[in-house]
Structure 1
Amino acid sequence: MLSQKTRYTIRAMQHLADHYGEGPVPLVDIADTQNIPAKFLTVILSELARFGLVDSQRGREGGYWLAIAPIDITYGDLLRTISGSLALVPCASRFAHETCKNCLPETECRVRALMLQVRDATAQLLDGVRLSDPIALAPASEDETMMHPDSPSSLDIEA
């Protein structure tokens, strides 16, 4: 599962990508539009600035913008920058490999073998999608429509 910080970071970066080339985007606009607590967003954007992904300008006309064109940022790069790895277990990480504690030798572990395949498939997908790419929205999950019974996707409409 992605951490809340990672999800907020992705949403903030998507927002900045949507406004690329328009000048500084005020923090409050990002926070309000993306439903991210402003104090947490400040920490996230400061961290992204240290990584060289965003720039900022202080003052009344200030805000944040992408330091790199959205076409040059893949979701894989973004997740690796934020989380350090795409792997679900440390022994399957390419760049932050660690031997798992209380496990079998790596050459005998089928869990590791499976997680290597998951890591590679995840990397292939995320490295092929850029911040500039449109992403089609998915329909609400069944759980979501059950919580909102009046939503159009949960109604049976006869023609």
Structure 2
Amino acid sequence: MKLTKRGEYALRTLIRLGIADRQGEGVISVSTLADQERLPFKFLEAILFELRQAGYVESLRGKHGGARLAKPAKSIKMGDVVRLIDGKLAPIGCASETEYEKCSCPDEEHCGLRMLMIDVRNAIANILDRYTLDHVVEVTLRKQEQQAAATRKTTAKKKTSKTLHADPADGFLAALLSPAI
């Protein structure tokens, strides 16, 4: 599975709308969403259209119009959104439950690669289907608060630039399992 830019932008948009909902902000204009998430406006409009068609988002027109969640964040599974936008979760077609494709392997039933990729698909699906938008919003807000608290503590110290990398300690599960502030 490779998350496309479209999939990434859709998830980031839903997370931002989930944060807005949690914080009582209500409707967010498309231009504000595009600016806050640094997304191309026209691309975001197309993504919002797809999310609206699937029932995840609703749009309001007018001077104070924009987008908001159409259903509770607790009912939006991350795996469902990824499948909607990017299709199958399996890295290869013969390991997919939803978009199976026959492979060129001479013995698909006993193919070690297929069995491995089924396990990869299952691991991805188990994580994405276990967590809802509400979980991701909770972790995001918790991480922001932890960062704000750390910044307040180091206000008197000289700022240093932090190099970002994929540290396992920064993962979703690590953040979800860490105690709340």
Name the TM-score class by shorter chain. 0.7 to 0.9
> Pairwise mapping of residues 99-114 of structure 1 onto structure 2 (< 5 A)?
99-100=102-103, 102-114=104-116
Cα RMSD, aligned residues only: 1.8
Which of 109, 126, 135 is residue 139 of structure 2 equivalent to? 135
The corresponding residue for 2:77 is 74
The corresponding residue for 1:5 is 6
Higher helix residue share:
2
**1:91 correspondence with 2:101:** no
The corresponding residue for 1:145 is none
Q: Give the AA of the match of 1:4.
A: K
Compared CA separation, residues 152 and 79, structure 1 to 2 (3 A): closer
Structure 2 unpaired stretches of 5+: 144-159, 165-181
Distance in 2, Cα, partners of 1:91 & 1:65: 37
Q: What is the CA distance between 1:108 and its match in structure 2?
A: 2.5
SS of equivalent residue, structure 1 residue 19? helix
Q: What is the CA distance between 1:64 and its match in structure 2?
A: 0.5
Compared CA separation, residues 39 and 111, structure 1 to 2 (3 A): same
The corresponding residue for 1:121 is 123
Aligned length: 141
Distance in 2, Cα, partners of 1:121 & 1:152: 31
Instruction: List, as ranges, runs of 4+ consecutive aligned residues in structure 1 with deviation greater than 3 Å.
Output: none
Distance in 2, Cα, partners of 1:104 & 1:17: 47
Q: Give the AA of the match of 1:135.
A: V
Distance in 2, Cα, partners of 1:95 & 1:31: 32
Q: Give the AA of the match of 1:15.
A: R
Which of 40, 58, 63 is residue 61 of structure 2 equivalent to? 58
- Equivalent pairs: percent with the same residue? 38
Q: Give the AA of the match of 1:8.
A: Y
Structure 1 unpaired stretches of 5+: 138-149, 155-159
Which of 36, 57, 67 is residue 39 of structure 2 equivalent to? 36
